[in-house]
Amino acid sequence: MNTRRDLIKQGALLAGLLAGVLPLQAGAAEALAKSAFDAKTLDELYKALGLGKPVESKEVQLSAPDIAENGAVVPVTIASGAANVVRMLVLVEKNPSVLTASFDVSPAVEAAFQTRVKMGQTSNLYAVAITADKKVLFAQKEVKVTLGGCGG
Amino acid sequence: MADPMRIRAQALNGNVVVKVLMQHEMETGQRKDANGKTIPAWHITDVSASLNGTPVFSAQWGPAVSKNPFLQFTIKGGKAGDKVSVQWVDNLGNKRVDEATVV
Amino acid sequence: MSKTALAIAGVMAGVIALIGAPALAQKSTSDGIAEYRAMLADGNPAELFEAKGEELWKTPRGPKGASLERCDLGKGAGVVKGAFVELPRYFGDTGRVQDLESRLLSCMETLQGFDAKAIAATPFGKGEQTNLEALVAYISAESRGMKFNLPQTHTAEKLMYAAGKKIFYFRGGPYDFACATCHGEDGKRIRLQDLPALYKNPGDAVGFASWPAYRVSSGELWGMQRRLNDCYRQQRFPYPGYASDATIALATYMGVNSKGAVSSAPALKR
Amino acid sequence: MKTVHLISAAAGLAIVAGCATQAMGPSEAEATAAADAMIKSSFREQGIAKLDRLEQDAVQKACSSDKPPTADVSAKIEAEQMATVKWPTNGQYLGDWKEGEKLAQNGRGMTWTDPAGAKSGGNCYNCHQISKAEISFGTIGPSLYQYGRLRGVSDPASAQSEPIVKYTWGKIYNAKAYSACSNMPRFGHVGVLDEDQIRDIMALLLDPKSPVNAE
């Protein structure tokens, strides 16, 4: 299906994006401050990342189950259609550390990721998209963590 | 040495969808063993991927990513036959790199 | 221009595919749990164990430095495909009805020179037991999608089934529990977990036809031996020996009852 | 060594059985004998779970089949079990429903991984719906939501409430007194729960202030 010409065009497009718009990965946003993983609250986290006030946005999508049969594995899908997203975060409000995972959004990947996280208890889950001009957009959802099995 | 990852890289609508399973304990450092001693943290901190040798993806993880982590991301462009390689590094300095061919 | 538009459409399609349909406002608890399981269906970490098990099967190991490739799982030496859905079965060389785990122990002893009794006495998740878990993941995966069809021709197989039924209904311990207490009726739950009725065929990929499985609660791969062991722990019984006759009899009972059920092993469980 | 010996004994039994009943499979007696031998050979003690847990009493023996015992046998068992029920020594049936809720949630105790002397939980939510707030409940037993309200218990200490209060105590203490082969453990009779714990669970079910009975 793909002709050589298409591929060259696509490759050139990609290279152009990489070279022109944003330097790759770590450079895109500055490297994630490692102290971010020590943040106990959402406020602490945004402070550690030097970010302003987050805004709930329809440009961020978060998919997670309403109920988790086991808090050890909660599937989470995040995505954003906002312009110039450079980083996406998965946060669990009531975990000992709120930041669970950070994904660099280089021009070579879509701003859409799926992973699985641990939740110690029923909590709000956040998907956060950070743009090149430091806008902080988020979506949230409560996930109920249930007691399973025989409880023994 | 850590066991190999399972990487599936599939060409779809001009993109490559990559699904990865990694074998790792992802110990939080918050749990205690039967004798009440804290089990030290041991988890993946950095994940990165490249397409045909060119870096395309990176992520930083804390200990709350689930044990034996699953990750899915989508590389723009790419085609069947391309090589996707994925690497992880953990907080103890262990490393694992595996490669898959896009189908 | 059109290329760009197409690329954007592609991106959006990808995003929508990742996110899935919007959640309905009103959902029952069981719908919620079903949704949770569906989200985990793709990317079962059991795959990691399958890969390790295949490697182990083919690797020369043990005092005799042999692989397991000549192990007879019931369909002839070295035949893995389809073997799992016909176990437990009678083996002439050992004179026993054996399940997958006990048969693997026999092969590890005779072919590789391992001490089967020492491995059976090793706690779950330690030493050679972790290798056994990987092996059962690999071997069961080679029968994924096939239907259970345990042989019931040999007298010993029939006796195992009949004894297994007795053991299934055997009540004991401080709580008076039998297997049948939880698995004797349709449509029951313990907490939020569905309990398959195991005195009959509970259906494709349910009950016996869904083990071995990756347990998300512990991040481990459990074979039927470990599943039964933890059932007996929760029943407040004493400790069933690994690959002991009572466990094999129960597996025979459940396996024969599951005749025709499609195996989804290794599955993914809470 | 012991295991190997017993396994070959079972295999030997199989061969003997085979001579007599090739087509039909083993007789009832042969199956029972084989199962008994396997239960003896297959289990070992671990932690607090000793082998005496395999010694069945009359209830367990009568209820270990896919068929229920006859009405006569059931009636006899129920009468015997009723005689074991110890009513509260201080005449007080209800304790603290908040403690009762904790016990109902707690499924621990009596397994080979539990320490000796540890108090057990009530395991209630494993099998029953109880308070509305807990969505993770089992369905092996009936729903107990609104337990007291549905039975018209507005004052558990009243004479009017006495029959249902006593029934509930007896049921928790020894469920087999009311249904010979009930799936429910005999919590008081076997000492899984002590008197105070039963009082707290009673309060969870019967105290009008308990969330179980909330309007």
Instruction: Say which of C19, C216, C270 has its CB closest to residue A79.
Output: C19
Q: Return phi, psi of residue A65, to 5°.
A: -70, 155
CATH number of residue B15's parent domain: 2.60.40.10
Per-residue confidence (pLDDT) for residue D146, from 0 to 100: 98
Q: Name every chain A residue with its beta carbon within 8 A of the beta carbon of D109.
A: 152
DSSP string covering C74-101: SSSBT--TTTGGG-SEEETTTTEEE-HH
Instruction: Write the residue in C14, C43, C216 that is nearest to B21 by C-beta.
Output: C43
Of C7, C13, C45, the CB nearest to B68: C45
Query: Quick check: A106 and B67 CB within 8 A?
Result: no
Contact C219 B6 (CB under 8 A): no
Contacts of A3 in chain C (CB under 8 A): none
Q: Which of B45, B28, B29 is nearest to B90 (CA)?
A: B45
List Cα–Cα distances, D113 to C230, C237, C270, D47, D116, in angstroms: 11, 11, 20, 7, 9
- pLDDT tens digits, A94-109: 999 999 999 999 999 9
Tokens for B18, please give them: 């990559």
Question: How many domains does one find in chain B?
Answer: 1
Give the relative orientation of helices D195-206 and D162-173 as an angle to the nearest 10 degrees: 130
Task: Name the average pLDDT for chain D.
Answer: 91
Whose structure tokens read 């098990």?
C53
pLDDT on residue D24: 74
Residue A151: inside a domain: no
| C64, C107 Cβ separation under 8 angstroms | no
* Residue segments in chain C with a per-residue pLDDT below the cut of 50: 1-26
Is residue B1 one of the residues assigned to a domain? no
Q: How far is CA A32 from the centre of its chain?
A: 13
Q: pLDDT value at position C19?
A: 45
Angstrom distance (rounded) from CA C249 to CA C270: 26
**Which residue of chain B has the CA closest to C3?**
B14
- The pLDDT tens digits for D55-78 are 999 999 999 999 999 999 999 999
Contact yes or no for D125 and A148 at CB 8 A: no
Q: Are residues A2 and A77 in the same domain?
A: no
Contacting residues for D209 by C-beta, under 8 A, at least 6 apart = D97
Q: Considering only residues A81 and D20, tell me which one the structure prediction assigns the higher pLDDT.
A: A81
Whether residue A133 is contained in a domain is answered as: yes
Residue in C158, C162, C155, C195 with CA at minimum distance from that of residue C179:
C195
pLDDT score recorded for residue C63: 98
The answer to whether residue A2 sits within a structural domain is yes
Instruction: Grade residue B34 by pLDDT with cuts at 50, 70 and 90.
Output: confident
Are the Cβ atoms of C10 and B15 closer than 8 angstroms?
yes
What does the pLDDT read at residue A150? 52
DSSP state of B53: T
- A34 & A59 share domain: no
Tokens of C208: 């016996």
Apex C54 CA angle, C49 and C59, nearest 5: 120
A56 has pLDDT over 80: yes
**Domain count for chain A:** 2
Contact criterion met (CB < 8 Å) for C176 and D138: no
Are the beta carbons of A99 and B74 separated by less than 8 Å? no
More confidently predicted of D18 and D34: D34
User: Would you state the pLDDT for residue C14?
Assistant: 44
Q: What beta strand segments (E) does chain D contain?
A: 43-44
Contacts of A149 in chain C (CB under 8 A): 190-191, 193, 217, 234, 270
> Which residues does residue C54 pair with via DSSP β-bridges, in sequence order?
none
CB contact under 8 A, C174 and D8: no
Say whether A149 and C12 touch across the interface (CB within 8 A).
no
In angstroms, the separation between the Cα of residue C159 and the nearest Cα of chain D is 6
Contact of B21 with B68, CB cutoff 8 Å: yes
Task: Identify the band that residue A5 occupies on the pLDDT scale cut at 50, 70 and 90.
Answer: very low
Judgement on whether residues A77 and A140 belong to the same structural domain of the protein: yes
Task: Please determine, for residue A151, whether its predicted confidence score (pLDDT) is greater than 80.
Answer: no
Alpha-helical regions (H) of chain A: 4-16, 42-48
Q: Is the pLDDT of residue D104 over 60?
A: yes
Residue A52: CATH number of its domain:
2.60.40.2470
pLDDT for A28 equals 46
Highest CATH level, class, for D44-215? mainly alpha
User: Could you tell me if A31 and A63 lie in one domain?
Assistant: no
Shortest CA distance to C250 belongs to which of C181, C141, C180, C163? C163
Chain A (50-79) residues lying within 8 Å, Cβ to Cβ, of chain D: 67
- Say which of D34, D113, D138 has its CB closest to residue C159: D34
Question: What are the structure tokens assigned to A140, written together?
Answer: 């949230």
Determine the residue of chain A that is closest to C216 in CA distance.
A73
Residue B30 lies in a domain: yes
- Whether residue C32 and residue A67 make contact (CB cut-off 8 A), yes or no, is yes
A14 with A78, same domain: the answer is no
Neighbours of chain C (3+ CB pairs under 8 A): A, B, D
Q: Is A118 a member of any domain?
A: yes
Mean pLDDT of chain A, nearest integer: 83
Contact, D177 vs D64, CB < 8 A? no
Decide if B81 is inside a domain. Answer: yes
| A26 and A52 together in one domain | no
Whether C104 contacts C71, CB under 8 Å: yes
A46, A116: one domain: yes
Sort out which chain A residues have CB atoms less than 8 A from D108's CB and list them. Answer: 151-152
DSSP D175: G
Closest Cβ opposite residue A149 in set C18, C20, C191: C191
Which two three-digit tokens encode residue D213? 């009975």
When pLDDT is cut at 50, 70 and 90, the band that residue A149 belongs to is: low
Residues of C within 8 A of B67 (CB-CB) are: 219
Q: With a cut of 70, say whether residue A11 has pLDDT above it.
A: no
d(CA B75, CA B85): 12
Q: How many Å apart are CA B68 and CA B51, to the nearest integer?
A: 23
Q: Which domain holds residue B38?
A: 6-101
Hey, of B17, B24, B56, B68, which one would you mutate to test binding to chain A, going by the most A CBs within 10 A of its CB?
A: B56
pLDDT of C211 reads 97
**Which of D103, D112, D129, D136 should we substitute to test contact with A (largest number of A Cβ atoms within 10 Å)?**
D136
Residues of A in Cβ contact (< 8 Å) with B20: none
Query: Hey, what long-range contacts does C55-58 have (CB within 8 A, 24 or more apart)?
Result: C56/C131, C56/C134, C56/C135, C56/C138, C57/C135, C57/C138, C57/C139
The predicted-structure confidence for B44-101, as pLDDT tens digits, reads as follows 999 999 999 999 999 999 999 999 999 999 999 999 999 999 999 999 999 999 999 9
Residues of C that are catalytic: 231
pLDDT of residue A93: 97
Beta carbons of A72 and C216 less than 8 Å apart: yes
A3 with A66, same domain: the answer is: no
Cα–Cα distance for residue pair C194/C196, rounded to 1 Å:
6
Q: pTM, whole model, 2 decimals?
A: 0.87
- Which residues of A fall within a CB distance of 8 Å from B48? 25
As a whole number of angstroms, the longest Cα–Cα distance in chain A is 63
Residues from chain A contacting residue B57 (CB–CB below 8 Å): 25, 103-104, 106, 108-109
**What residues of chain B, 78 to 97, have a C-beta less than 8 Å from chain A?**
79
Chain B residue with Cα closest to A120: B64
Average pLDDT (A42-54) is 92
- Domain extent, residue A8, equals 1-38
Count interface pairs A-D at CB distance under 8 A. 25
Q: Do D108 and A151 touch (CB under 8 A)?
A: yes
At a CB cut-off of 8 Å and minimum separation 6, what does D146 contact?
Answer: D212, D213
Query: Is it the case that residue A3 has pLDDT exceeding 70?
Result: no
CA D111 – CA D117 distance, rounded (Å)? 12
pLDDT reported for residue D6: 44
Is some CB atom of chain D closer than 8 A to the CB atom of A144? yes
Nearest chain C Cα to D176, which residue? C176
pLDDT in tens, C4-51: 343 444 444 444 444 444 443 345 777 888 888 889 888 999 999 999
| pLDDT confidence of residue A31 | 81
> Could you tell me if B39 lies within 8 Å of chain C, comparing CB atoms?
no
Q: What's the pLDDT score for residue C29?
A: 77
Contact A110 C270 (CB under 8 A): no
